[in-house]
Amino acid sequence: MGKGSAERRIHVKTAGDAGYDICLQDSFGALAGELAKLGCEGRRVCIVSDSNVAGRYLEAVKQEVAGCAAQVETFVFPAGEESKTLANVQELYEVLIRAGFDRKDFLLALGGGVVGDLTGYAAATYLRGIRFIQVPTTLLAQIDSSVGGKTGVDFDQYKNMVGAFHQPSLVYISIPVLRTLPEEQFASGMGELLKYGLSFDAEFYEWAIEHMEEIEERDAETMAYMVSKCCQLKKYIVEKDPTEKGDRALLNFGHTVGHAIEKLKHFELTHGACVALGTVAAAYISWQRGYLDEDEFYEIRDMNVGFGLPISFDGITEDAIVEATRHDKKMDGGKIRFILLKKLGKAFIAEDVTEKEMREAVRTMKAD
Ligand code: GLY
């Protein structure tokens, strides 16, 4: 299998409106034209970004947006999960109110998952909903969080506790931004990418393994292909189940244990690194239940290493992890919807995974 050519425009259908395009570009240069198609001419746009991304790309994006919009405002908050708060949403509302934003105006999220989620939530709630555009700059945001309309902020120690489904009007992806992404952030996106392959598409999983070198070099064509492929998989899932009543939950492969580790490690590890650890746990249970064989389990585990992702951790007990998953359980009608693999490329929802199985799976990853 070659690199494959990337689908550069993917349309996502949504209930009740026209849907939106995900467009893959080689720069920010086509942004003004895309905004014009959405009726952005003569409107106000507020670009929301974080302190890391703004330093690199805010000026370029602002110039592009100014080529279409009548007024461009900016709102930049400190980078990091700690910023994903209602307090920052409130500050953003203040900027919008002061600048006189009305229901026809736009927000534009320039950044990773935190920026996209927070901006989307502000867009969902300001004046009961205004339009917003996702311009994701991390691999994780490009392949996952910018598509599908999940928006929200954290509340106290609870991740994504307050949120809404609110679909973007456009997802504009500039592929070359991946070149400047720090190693750790790139690996984090790879954690989610491997998840797509393992859960939905074994051929894509094998493709990633075969193209490890090009992926590591961040070869432009390879990046475009893999981002496009993930967006197509995500489109397929969110069109079928926009609000996670069913199969969208399969996107949470690796997330039950992953979220628990993320929280217990106080967000010191990236999201994708935690998902990668959760993937090992879920693959282990799938092996123990006879769905995967031993070689498949070890291949899944060891591929993490190949892509700069962890296979072990220290400093947290099995009990603490099981305890943390109980919170998810409480929030989901008293059931843990654990995602397992029937085989490579075929995930399913198991509601009967026991705490004993989870403990055993976690034990295989403990480094202390
Ligand atoms: N990131 C999982 C979802 O969008 O459902």
Cα angle 50, 147, 116 (rounded to 5 degrees) comes to: 15
The average confidence (pLDDT) of the chain is: 95
Question: Which residue type, as a one-letter code, is found at position 31?
Answer: L
Interval 278-294: pLDDT, tens? 999 999 999 999 999 99
pTM: 0.95
Atom of ligand 1 nearest to the CA of 192: 1
CB neighbour class for 311 (10 Å; exposed up to 12, middle 13-18, buried from 19): middle
Ligand 1 mean position, distance from CA 7 (Å) = 21
Task: State how far the Cα of 168 lies from the Cα of 133, in Å rounded to an integer.
Answer: 5
Ligand 1 mean position, distance from CA 148 (Å) = 7
Q: Supply the pLDDT for residue 31.
A: 98
Ligand 1 mean position, distance from CA 275 (Å) = 12
Q: Supply the pLDDT for residue 329.
A: 64
Interval 92-141: pLDDT, tens? 999 999 999 999 999 999 999 999 999 999 999 999 999 999 999 999 99
Mean pLDDT of 314-324: 93
* Nearest residue to 251 (alpha-carbon basis) of 227, 269, 278, 291: 278
With the most atoms of ligand 1 within 8 angstroms of its CB, the residue from 233, 235, 251 to mutate is 251
- Secondary structure of residue 91 in the 3-state scheme: helix
Measured by CA distance, the residue closest to atom 3 of ligand 1 is: 251
Task: State how far the Cα of 120 lies from the Cα of 107, in Å rounded to an integer.
Answer: 8
